[in-house]
Amino acid sequence: MEVIPGDIQAFAEKYTSPEGDLLYRLHRETYLKADQPHMLSGHVQGTFLSMVSHMMRPRRILEIGTYTGYSAICLAQGLEAGGMLHTIDVNEELEDMAARYIAEAGLTDKITQHIGKAAIIIPELNETFDLIFIDADKAGYGMYYDMVWEKLRPGGMILADNVLYHGEVVLHETEQSNNAKAMIRFVEKAVADDRAETLLLTLRDGVMLVRKK
């Protein structure tokens, strides 16, 4: 199911600052070489991530789900001087491609790539994060929320991608995939958490913002 109609998406892209050559080439190479290229955040959502990061000027960012590095590069653009983004992915096959574009973007000293399961790596990170982007296995979102909460500073923000899950979240439950059901459990968990303020944006496949009070 298409969440945003194609002509509306094209209009949004037209009035969003250009993607830029490096991200355009990363986008293209991902579509040519990687499995499930629709997973990449893309032009409009990538600009949104960059905007949030520029507004927050974070010192530490955590990303769960690197894929080919598109969203990591967007998020790292707003880091304050001396800041660091930690990004985790279980798929080692895409590590080199992401690293190549991160280097070309001049961000090697601002982005640390971790290869392995997020549930193993998150507890190993001795950091307090300002901004956390959850964009990995959908069944894990609720667990990642609990795992990162104490590592998120008060006033910090969690962004969670794909919370509309291609629009399946509003279908009858007999028509929902397990991933859509996991997204519903996740957004219900976040909105019921009185330590948090939430906003569900209908951006692309749905992005939930969770601010730690």
Positions that interact with ligand SAM (CB under 6 A): 39-41, 65, 67, 70-71, 88-91, 117-118, 135-137, 140
Could you give the strand order of the β-sheet that contains 207-212, starting from the edge strand earlier in sequence? 111-115, 84-89, 60-64, 129-134, 152-161, 207-212, 196-201
Shortest spacing between CB 118 and ligand SAM, in angstroms: 4
Residue number, 166 or 197, with CB nearest to ligand SAM: 166
Residue number, 62 or 88, with CB nearest to ligand SAM: 88
Shortest spacing between CB 46 and ligand SAM, in angstroms: 7
Residue number, 93 or 195, with CB nearest to ligand SAM: 93
Across-strand partners of 202? none
Q: Who's near 77: CB < 8 A, 6+ residues apart?
A: 50, 53, 54
Please say whether the dihedral angle defined by the alpha carbons of residues 40, 42, 48 and 53, taken in this order, is positive or negative: positive
**Which letter does DSSP use for residue 79 in this model?**
P
CB 196 within 8 A of CB 152: no
Tokens standing for residue 132: 């956390």
Residue number, 35 or 80, with CB nearest to ligand SAM: 35
Shortest spacing between CB 147 and ligand SAM, in angstroms: 11
Residue number, 60 or 204, with CB nearest to ligand SAM: 204
Shortest spacing between CB 33 and ligand SAM, in angstroms: 13
Shortest spacing between CB 63 and ligand SAM, in angstroms: 6
